[in-house]
């Protein structure tokens, strides 16, 4: 007799995330209200059939008050890690390097902005997705 072990998979949150860099090569991280760690700006598709760049444009406008420069978007990676703010979930992200127009400011669900050197983030508490998958691709 063959016995199959139950496969327990964490529920998945699918997001689109942005890497925004300044002229010094630093990258922008954001901290949401009530969160302890910083992460890339971005978010979930809404509605579910929204494409990646439409999602990023909407999220950047809502959360940071800036506009995505659509032709600048370059897929950096696809990555997953335990979710920073939803215990027991895994986040799967499509990550794009993008340019933006306008002044970047924390608004809506964003409590704080932080510009870091991706090769040396210092003491900034960074979400695992950013720390383990995204920042290493930028620090080269």
Question: Model confidence over 68-107: pLDDT tens digits?
Answer: 999 999 999 999 999 988 889 999 999 999 999 999 999 9
Question: Look-up: residue for tokens 């506009």?
Answer: 67
Q: pLDDT (tens digit, 9 = 90+) per residue, 17-76?
A: 999 999 999 999 999 999 999 999 999 988 778 899 999 999 999 999 999 999 999 999
How far are the Cα atoms of 3, 29, 39, 54, 70 from residue 83, in angstroms, in the given order? Answer: 32, 15, 10, 22, 27
pLDDT, residue 8, reads 52
pLDDT, residue 75, reads 97
pLDDT, residue 140, reads 54
Quick one: which H or E segment has residue 73?
strand 67-82
Q: What share of the chain is helix, strand, coil (3-state, %, to 5)?
A: 15, 40, 40
pLDDT, residue 47, reads 74
Please state, in angstroms and rounded to a whole number, the distance separating the CA atoms of residues 30 and 39: 5
């Amino acid at each position: 007799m063959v016995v199959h072990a139950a496969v327990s998979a964490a529920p998945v949150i699918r997001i689109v995330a942005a890497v925004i860099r300044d002229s010094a090569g630093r990258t922008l991280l954001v901290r949401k209200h009530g969160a302890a760690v910083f992460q890339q700006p971005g978010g979930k598709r809404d509605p579910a059939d929204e494409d990646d760049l439409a999602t990023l444009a909407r999220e950047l406008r809502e959360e940071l008050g800036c506009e995505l420069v659509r032709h600048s978007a370059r897929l950096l990676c696809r990555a997953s890690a335990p979710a920073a703010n939803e215990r027991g979930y895994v986040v799967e992200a499509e990550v794009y390097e993008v340019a933006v127009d306008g002044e970047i400011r924390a608004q809506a669900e964003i409590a704080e902005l932080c510009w870091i050197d991706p090769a040396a983030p210092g003491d900034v508490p960074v979400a695992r997705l950013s720390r383990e998958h995204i920042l290493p691709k930028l620090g080269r």
